[in-house]
Amino acid sequence: MLLMTAFFIATPVYATAPNGADPDSGVEMVGNVAYVDHLTNLPADFAVMREKKIPMMIFFHASYCGYCVQVDNQFLIPMRLDPEFKGRLLIRRVLVDGDTKYIGLDGKKHDYPHLANKLEVRGVPYILFLAPDGSRITSIQ
Q: What is the pLDDT along the chain (141 residues), one digit of tens a residue?
A: 444 443 333 333 222 333 444 444 445 555 554 556 889 999 999 999 999 999 999 999 999 999 999 998 888 888 878 888 778 888 899 999 988 899 999 999 999 999 999 999 999 999 999 999 999 999 998
Q: Write the CB contacts of 102 (distance below 8 Å, at least 6 apart in sequence).
A: 38, 39, 40, 41, 42, 94, 109, 110, 111, 112, 115
- The residue among 39, 31, 55 whose CA lies nearest residue 118 is 39
The pLDDT assigned to 76 comes to 86
pTM assigned to the model: 0.73
What residue ranges do the domains of the chain occupy? 2-7+33-118+128-140
The CATH code of the domain at 2-7+33-118+128-140 is 3.40.30.10
The pLDDT assigned to 29 comes to 54
